[in-house]
Amino acid sequence: MKRLLLIAVALLTVAATAVRAETPVERHGQLRVEGGRVIDQHGAPVTLRGMSLFWSQWAPKFYNAETVDWLADDWQVTVVRAAIAVPSGGYLEHPERETAKAEAVIEAAIDAGIYVIVDWHAHEPEPEAAARFFAHIAAKYGDRPNVIYETWNEPLDTHGWAEVVKPFHLAVILRIRALDPDNLIVAGTPTWSQDVDIAAADPLPFSNLAYTLHFYAGSHRQELRDKAERAMDLGAALFVTEWGTTPATGDGPMDLAETRLWWDFMEARGLSHLNWSITDKAEGSAALEPGASGRGGWGENQLTPSGRLLRDRLREMNLTP
C-alpha cells in the first residue's frame, strides 16, 4: 500500500511538473486573427497579459535576459514589449545599438517561451527607417511564433489615417510580409492609438493584423471604450499594447476605479494587454522604485504602488488555467 502511494505521488509530481513546464508559446503557438479575434494554434481565443519596457534609449538597463526571465517567472507575464525608441537618441541616431536591444529582448523571450512585441516607438512617421528595421527583424526572427510586430506605436492627432498613417503601414507591412507571411502585426492608430474606429472603417488589406488601442485610466474612460466597441463591431481585432493606471502624462495618482473598469472590459472581450511600464523613473506609471535593479529580482520594497498592483494582477490572471 505504501509503495502504491509513493508511486501515485511520483506520478502526480511528474504530471504537475509537465503542466508547469508548458510555456505560453508551447501552449498557444502561432497566433492569428480570425473573426475579429486573436486566436491560437488550436483556433481558441487567446488573451495575452504582460508588461512593456520603457523607451529603450532612456531605460536600457532593463533590456536584458534577466529582466525578461524575472517577468516571465515571478510576474507570470505571457508577453513582453520592447519599446524601441526612434527619436531623441534612439534608432534614427543609433540604429545598431537600438537593434541590439530589440534582439536581446526577442532572444530572451524566445528562451523563456513567451511572446514579444517589437515596438517602433515613435510619434512621427519614419517609413524608410521603420521598413529597414522591421525587415531585419523579420529576416532574423520571422520563423519564431513568439514575435509580434508593432509597426507604429502612437501616431499623433495631427496624422490622419487615410493621409499619413495607413500609407505608412502599407509601406512597412509589405516589407515585413515579404519575409514573414505569418506572424501577428499590430498597427498603430491616430490620436496616440485611440482612433481605432476610424482605422476599422478603412482597414488595411492584410491578414493576421490587429489595431493598436492605448489608454491611461486617469484620462480615458467610457468614451474610448465606446470607440473600441465600434471598431470591434466593424470586425477589427484590437490589441492593447500599452495602458497605464495613471493619467496620460504617465505621472500622477492611480485611478483604481477606472483601471478595474478597463480590466473588466478587456477580459470580457478577450483583448490582450501590456502595462506601461518596467522602469524606475520617478513617475506614477513606473512599476519600479528609483534605483531598482536592472536585472530583475525585485522585492516588494522595489515596487511602486502601480508595480505591486500589476504584479498581483498578472500572477492572479495568468496562473488561472
Bridge partners of 50?
Answer: 79, 274
- 80 bridge partner residues: 51, 116
151 and 120 Cβ atoms separated by less than 8 Å: yes
Give the C-alpha separation, 211 to 186, whole Å: 5
CB contact at 8 A, 311 and 86: no
Residue 72 CB contacts under 8 Å (≥ 6 apart), including other chains: 80, 109, 112, 113, 114
Which are the contacts of 138, defined by CB distance < 8 A and separation ≥ 6?
Answer: 149, 175, 176, 179, 180, 183
| Torsion-angle region of 63 (φ positive above 0: left; ψ -120 to 50: alpha; else: beta) | beta
**Catalytic residue ranges:** 154, 242
d(CA 294, CA 308): 17
CB neighbour list of residue 69: distance below 8 Å, 6 or more residues apart: 108, 111, 112, 296
Rounded Cα–Cα distance for residues 116 and 24 (Å): 11
Q: Using CB atoms within 10 A of its CB, is residue 116 exposed (0-12), middle (13-18) or buried (19+)?
A: buried
| Distance in angstroms (rounded) separating the CA atoms of residues 5 and 118 | 49
Q: State residue 11 phi and psi, 5-degree precision.
A: -65, -40
